[in-house]
């Protein structure tokens, strides 16, 4: 089963689209002095608007402003739009008094862009009016100064209209806006209870709401039980057929366990729909094969299918990791539940993976459904998902937590490389981080990360750093050269 065909069978969940506010501006005093200037600037605005309209986002373009009064009107429109990021295009010089109200009243992160018409001026043939079309960079330091004095986070991208380097930097902030949009509107499900003794996993639910704007829906396993009980035989058979199309079924799979996992899968779909969940973290220990133990053990098939559809699932009650998975999912990078499994010093790699839910988008080949008589460290038995992570660039992304309760994004870029892997019903990978694997573990463990995180496909440190900036939290990166930490103005825009 190829990734493309698997995704066709598993239609993605739809969420509220990211909203980008867009406003352009210049100084009204120039228009009567240089009659050709405003039409040229409007031409640049049209180009920028067209580029933004092609983004995977809803763009709220409130037009062109020429003075502080018009800026105030635009600010009110953007406040009502509830954007996830506001982009202000400085087409020429304008005063900071035109920009500050937009940032203050909209209470939304702002990105300043200044894109001159071409790479360079035609100096021999330019007069003052033509030069002013290239003067959008002039007020950037002014705006930066005023934002700092106002306690507002400053971000900017300078370049020219067709400068793809500049547009790559703009795209980075748009991807970061996807993360902010996903988190501030997310409904995170938390079902069951904490895995006994995992102190790092414990999370203050209020902090998730206060720092990200998310809602945490506390669920009982009985909420799942009643939905599984209503699954018909025909629905269970249909889910088993879907699983046969998505997975290779190993000979170790017991048919009764397979059928039970299919019933739980259908019930999980209903649970997610009824509570409008964007993520779910779960764990239940249970005893002696009673129903709740069987439910907890039967989660992996359905949770993996939901994760593949864009609703991340994490076992062991790992709320912060399901949030990290949503972060990577929101930029299209997958995000599979992961921990360290072992170190291979001979090959210089960190072996990582996990049993439980897996993101099929990071699979190297057709995922395998394997029957397990025991889950390591957990009660129950049944079917589990196994695959090798695709070779190439990957990024680990997780949520650390500080003594004061503040969250931290922690990330590290590496490469999945070929080599021997375990076949124990886990997602598995061999990641080369470009440094001694023991040293990587030491540095990674000092960041405040827990022992679980999300493994995402591609190199996305810049995206995650930008997302942390928009969210007002600290970002830490582990790399072969150094441990870097980037702070944002916590609680500020």
Is residue 208 located within the same domain as residue 171?
A: no
Residue 14 falls within a domain, yes or no?
no
Nearest to 329 by CA among 456, 449, 211: 456
**Which pLDDT does position 61 carry in this prediction?**
97
Q: Is the dihedral of CA 183, 187, 188, 193 positive or negative?
A: positive
Alpha carbon 30 to chain centroid, angstroms: 43
**Which pLDDT does position 491 carry in this prediction?**
42
Q: What is the mean pLDDT of residues 237-254?
A: 90
Is residue 227 located within the same domain as residue 110?
A: no
Cα 204-208-214 angle, rounded to 5 deg: 145
- pLDDT higher than 60, residue 490: no
- pLDDT higher than 80, residue 124: yes
Q: Which residue has the higher pLDDT, 6 or 486?
A: 486
405/408 Cα distance (integer angstroms) = 10
Is residue 294 located within the same domain as residue 427?
A: yes
Do the Cβ atoms of 116 and 132 come closer than 8 Å? no
Do the Cβ atoms of 311 and 13 come closer than 8 Å? yes
Is residue 189 located within the same domain as residue 106?
A: no
Q: What is the mean pLDDT of residues 38-58?
A: 94
Q: How confident is residue 487, by pLDDT bands cut at 50, 70 and 90?
A: low
Residue 11 falls within a domain, yes or no?
no
Q: How far is CA 176 from CA 148, 274, 345, 466, 467, in A?
A: 21, 29, 35, 6, 4
Is residue 448 located within the same domain as residue 318?
A: yes
Q: What DSSP element (H or E) covers 31?
A: helix 30-33
Residue for token pair 């009016």:
129
The tokens of 219 are what? 């669920």
Contacts of 56 (CB under 8 A, 6+ apart): 17, 18, 178
Residue 107 falls within a domain, yes or no?
yes
Q: What DSSP element (H or E) covers 70?
A: helix 68-81
Q: What is the mean pLDDT of residues 393-411?
A: 96
Classify the phi-psi angles of 107: left when phi > 0, otherwise alpha if psi is within -120 to 50, otherwise beta.
left
Q: How confident is residue 335, by pLDDT bands cut at 50, 70 and 90?
A: confident
DSSP strand E in 82-144: where?
85-90, 110-116
**Average pLDDT value over all residues in the chain:** 90
Is residue 231 located within the same domain as residue 379?
A: yes
Q: How confident is residue 145, by pLDDT bands cut at 50, 70 and 90?
A: very high
- pLDDT higher than 90, residue 172: yes
295/275 Cα distance (integer angstroms) = 18
321/193 Cα distance (integer angstroms) = 15
Helices 221-229 and 255-275: crossing angle, nearest 10°? 110
**Total number of domains in the chain:** 2
The tokens of 488 are what? 């944002």
Q: Can you tell me whether residue 116 is helix, strand or coil?
A: strand
Residue 94 falls within a domain, yes or no?
yes
Residue 320 falls within a domain, yes or no?
yes
- pLDDT higher than 90, residue 6: no
Last residue of a domain, one of 142, 162, 183: 183
Q: How confident is residue 383, by pLDDT bands cut at 50, 70 and 90?
A: confident
Residue 259 falls within a domain, yes or no?
yes
Is residue 333 located within the same domain as residue 210?
A: yes
- Domain with residue 334: its CATH number is 3.20.14
- pLDDT higher than 60, residue 379: no
**Which pLDDT does position 152 carry in this prediction?**
96
Last residue of a domain, one of 123, 152, 183: 183
Is residue 176 located within the same domain as residue 201?
A: no
**Which pLDDT does position 128 carry in this prediction?**
95
Identify the weakest region by mean pLDDT among 162-171, 196-205, 457-466.
196-205
Percentage of residues in the chain having pLDDT higher than 90: 74
The tokens of 467 are what? 């997302």
Residue 9 falls within a domain, yes or no?
no
Is residue 118 located within the same domain as residue 143?
A: yes
Last residue of a domain, one of 162, 183, 204: 183
416/457 Cα distance (integer angstroms) = 10
Q: What is the mean pLDDT of residues 241-263?
A: 90
Q: What is the mean pLDDT of residues 277-283?
A: 96
Is residue 326 located within the same domain as residue 199?
A: yes
Phi–psi pair at 393, nearest 5 degrees: -65, 140
Domain range for residue 120? 19-183
Q: How confident is residue 4, by pLDDT bands cut at 50, 70 and 90?
A: very low
Is residue 321 located within the same domain as residue 430?
A: yes
- pLDDT higher than 80, residue 375: no
Is residue 155 located within the same domain as residue 177?
A: yes
Residue 59 falls within a domain, yes or no?
yes
Do the Cβ atoms of 90 and 45 come closer than 8 Å? no
- pLDDT higher than 80, residue 46: yes
Kindly report the pTM of this predicted structure. Answer: 0.92
- Domain with residue 143: its CATH number is 3.40.50.10940
Contacts of 231 (CB under 8 A, 6+ apart): 263, 266, 267
């Amino acid at each position: 089963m190829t990734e493309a065909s698997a995704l066709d069978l598993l239609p993605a969940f739809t969420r509220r689209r990211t909203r980008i506010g867009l406003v352009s501006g210049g100084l009204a005093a120039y228009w009567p002095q240089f009659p050709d200037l405003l039409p040229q600037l409007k031409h640049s605005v049209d180009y920028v608007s067209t580029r933004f309209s092609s983004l995977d986002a809803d763009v709220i373009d409130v037009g062109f402003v020429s003075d502080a009064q018009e800026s105030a009107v635009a600010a009110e429109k953007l406040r009502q739009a509830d954007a996830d990021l506001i982009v202000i295009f400085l087409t020429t010089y304008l005063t900071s008094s035109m920009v500050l109200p937009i940032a203050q009243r909209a209470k939304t992160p702002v990105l300043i862009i200044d894109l001159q018409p071409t790479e360079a001026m035609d100096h021999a043939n330019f007069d003052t009016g033509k030069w002013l079309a290239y003067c959008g960079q002039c007020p950037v330091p002014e705006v930066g100064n005023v934002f700092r004095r106002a306690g507002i986070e400053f971000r900017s991208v300078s370049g020219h209209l067709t400068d793809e380097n500049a547009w790559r930097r703009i795209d980075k902030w748009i991807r970061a806006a996807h993360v902010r949009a996903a988190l501030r509107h997310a409904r995170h499900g938390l079902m069951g209870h904490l895995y006994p003794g995992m102190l790092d996993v414990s999370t203050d639910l209020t902090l998730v709401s206060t720092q990200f704007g998310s809602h945490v829906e506390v669920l009982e396993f009985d909420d799942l039980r009643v939905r599984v009980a209503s699954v018909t035989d025909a629905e269970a058979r249909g889910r088993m057929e879907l699983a046969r199309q998505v997975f290779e079924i190993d000979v170790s799979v017991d048919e009764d366990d397979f059928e039970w996992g299919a019933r739980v899968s259908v019930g999980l779909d209903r649970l997610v729909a009824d509570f409008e969940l964007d993520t779910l973290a779960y764990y239940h220990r249970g005893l002696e094969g009673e129903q709740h133990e069987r439910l907890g053990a039967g989660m992996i098939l359905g949770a993996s299918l939901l994760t593949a559809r864009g609703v991340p699932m994490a076992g062991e009650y790992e709320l912060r990791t399901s949030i990290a998975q949503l972060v990577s999912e929101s930029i299209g990078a997958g995000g599979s539940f992961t921990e360290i499994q072992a170190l291979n010093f001979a090959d210089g790699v960190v072996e990582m993976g996990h049993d439980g839910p897996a993101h099929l988008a990071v699979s190297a080949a057709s995922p395998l459904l394997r029957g397990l008589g025991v889950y390591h460290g957990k009660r129950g038995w049944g079917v589990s998902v196994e695959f090798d992570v695709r070779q190439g660039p990957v990024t680990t992304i997780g949520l650390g937590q500080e003594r004061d309760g503040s969250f931290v994004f922690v990330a590290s870029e590496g490469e999945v490389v070929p080599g021997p892997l375990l076949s124990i019903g886990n997602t598995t990978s061999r990641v080369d981080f470009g440094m001694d694997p023991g040293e990587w573990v030491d540095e990674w463990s000092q960041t405040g990360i827990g022992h679980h995180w999300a493994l995402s496909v591609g190199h996305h440190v810049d995206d995650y750093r930008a997302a942390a900036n928009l969210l007002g939290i600290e970002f830490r990166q582990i790399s072969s050269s150094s441990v870097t930490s980037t702070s944002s103005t916590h609680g500020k825009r």
